[in-house]
Amino acid sequence: MISERIRARLRAEGVPFGANDTIWPHLTELERQLLEDEVADRAAALLDALIIDRENDHNTADTPRRLAKMFMREVFRGRYVEAPCVTDFPNVRKVDQVYVVGPVSVRSTCSHHFAPILGSAWVGVIPGERVIGLSKFNRLADWIFSRPQIQEEAVVQLADAMEEAMQPRGLGVIVRARHLCCAWRGVRDQTEMVSSEMRGLFRTEAAARGELLALVGQGVTCR
């Protein structure tokens, strides 16, 4: 099977392939297509194990293929597609004040139960020599969160991607999200989590961190 060959190659090359790792640089387009076919076959086996009559149930006849496309092209696309191109610009005016981008919609999947995580992110920046286009905050967030995740690690990964893209003097990422692994199953409560990652001046300077939190303020509400 194609997945076995890919796993063997990744292990031989020392490439991590945990749930929230991206493996797109190590896949060819043909391998992605073959992998999607295999995922569809495995999804069909799952439905069969659940005693769902795919042959006679018109609602689930094409569900395995839909699941494969959903996982590889949409909800887990951050594992299988190239990172977005991030356009950056020189900070010509030497802007050195705090600015905040958000709320940015984030949609992810709990890596424990594969249930949706839905929420919003805010990114605070004290620029350095470069800045990035406004839409790139959304594109980076989508790429990072479109993987099986736990929120605490996703926030760190997003901060890493933002920091690499623009090398700011200060960076703060705040995410608030609902976890359907708690709302849809388990305790069945509308549980939310707020998590943050502070870098540079937002970590070392209390005044800068306070300004960021004040700017976000009452805007930290889940959409």
DSSP helix/strand/coil, 132? strand
Q: In the chain, what's the furthest Cα-to-Cα distance?
A: 66
DSSP helix/strand/coil, 21? coil
Instruction: Tell me the Ramachandran region of residue 137: left when phi exceeds 0, alpha when psi lies from -120 to 50, beta otherwise.
Output: alpha
Instruction: Report yes or no: 177 and 222 within 8 Å, Cβ to Cβ.
Output: yes
| Range 56-85 average pLDDT | 97
Find, among 97, 88, 173, 178, the residue nearest to 133 by Cα: 88
Residue 219 has pLDDT above 80, yes or no: no
Domains of the chain plus CATH, in order, are: 2-80 (1.10.286.10), 88-219 (3.30.1130.10)
Instruction: Kindly report the pTM of this predicted structure.
Output: 0.92
Average pLDDT taken over every residue of the chain: 95
Q: Using CA atoms, how far apart are residues 143 and 128, in angstroms rounded to an integer?
A: 24
pLDDT tens profile 160-180: 999 999 999 999 999 999 999
pLDDT for the residue numbered 190: 85
Q: Using CA atoms, how far apart are residues 70 and 29, in angstroms rounded to an integer?
A: 17
Residue 210 has pLDDT above 90, yes or no: yes
3-class SS shares of the chain: helix, strand, coil, % to 5: 45, 20, 30
Please count the CA atoms within 13 angstroms of the CA of 43 that sit on its side-chain side. Answer: 19
Q: Using CA atoms, how far apart are residues 13 and 6, in angstroms rounded to an integer?
A: 11
